[in-house]
Amino acid sequence: MSTTAGKHEDPRPGLSRQLVVQTAIQHADSAGLDALTMRQVAGLLQVAPMSLYRHISNRDDLIDAMIDVLFGEIALPLGSAHWKTAMRTRAVSLRNVLARHRWAIGLMESRRRPGPSNLRHHDAVIGKLRSAGFDIGMVAHAYSLLDAYTYGYALTKVNIPFETTDEMAAMAQDMFEPFPANEYPNLAEFVTDHVMKPGYDYGEEFEYGLDLILNGLEEALAGQ
């Protein structure tokens, strides 16, 4: 009774595809996609690098699996909710997923082998819009707009990891430093008066644009 203890949960049940994928996601979350090397994941699992290949076929297959897990994390309100509520909830949830897993932003919509969660997700969103009265062309418009905005928001708000205003100011200093003073007055004003002001809220900025888009779509739907 050394390695295989009884029927109770084994403290280290050995590798599995799921365990590898979960560990890889956690590692990418905290260290980024570049740090997601086979050796590092193996190290976290206290296993030799080549052992991973019993459960995934290669690094790309691993990433495919990671992405499909993320699609499963997106909230999909499918009940009787109004389409606007449903799309708003989905977009906010997607933004949160992308904020938690920044490494995934460029990968979610470019997989050549979409997994089941991926396809199920898109199927559900399209179904919701169709049943709310969107014709096929309007579904395309709406989905394109909402996804572009949401992914793009996550992409462009590289979310500066600064705690204090001082750190931020130092960073801004560094950026402008190689150039003549007042070479970029509008940008300087914007940075000083807006970005660096406390109270700037990531979520509010996202939802401002989201609501503008949803309202526009609602009008378009009425005149469809």
Partner DNA sequence: GGCCGCATGTGTACTTTGTACGCTTATCAA
Partner DNA sequence: TTGATAAGCGTACAAAGTACACATGCGGCC
Q: Which of 3, 30, 110, 164 binds its own copies (CB under 8 A)?
A: 110
Contact indicator for 128, 78 with CB cutoff of 8 Å: yes
Of 6, 49, 44, 50, nearest to 24 by C-alpha is 44
Which residue of 6, 46, 179, 181 would you call a contact of its own copies, by CB under 8 A? 179
Q: Which of its own copies, DNA, none binds 32 (CB below 5-8 Å, type-dependent)?
A: none
Q: HSE, CB side, 13 Å, CA atoms: give it for residue 202.
A: 14
Whether 100 and 54 have beta carbons less than 8 Å apart is answered as: no
85, 100, 183, 224: residue in contact with its own copies (rule CB under 8 A): 183
Total of chain residues touching its own copies, rule CB under 8 A: 55
Task: Find the shortest distance in angstroms from Cβ 24 to DNA.
Answer: 10
Q: Measured between alpha carbons, how far is residue 117 from residues 21, 204, 221 in Å?
A: 15, 29, 28
The whole-angstrom separation of Cα 21 and Cα 39 is 14
One of 50, 158, 181, 222 touching DNA (CB under 7 A) = 50
Member of 55, 102, 122, 130 binding DNA (CB under 7 A): 55
| Segment interacting with its own copies, rule: CB under 8 A, options 16-24, 57-65, 72-80, 187-195 | 187-195
186 binds, among DNA, its own copies, none (CB under 5 to 8 A by kind): its own copies
* Residue that is written with structure tokens 């909230």 in the block: 75
Which residues in the 9-48 window bind DNA by CB under 7 A? Answer: 14-15, 35-40, 47-48
Tokens 């609501």 appear where? 211
Contact by Cβ (8 Å): 103, 32: yes
72 vs 209 by CB, closer to its own copies:
209
Residues forming the site for its own copies (CB under 8 A): 105-106, 109-110, 113-114, 116, 119-120, 122-124, 126-127, 130, 136-137, 139-141, 144-145, 147-153, 155-158, 175-176, 179, 183-187, 189-190, 193-195, 205, 208-209, 212-213, 215-217, 220
Residues forming the site for DNA (CB under 7 A): 3-4, 14-15, 35-40, 47-51, 53-55, 58-60
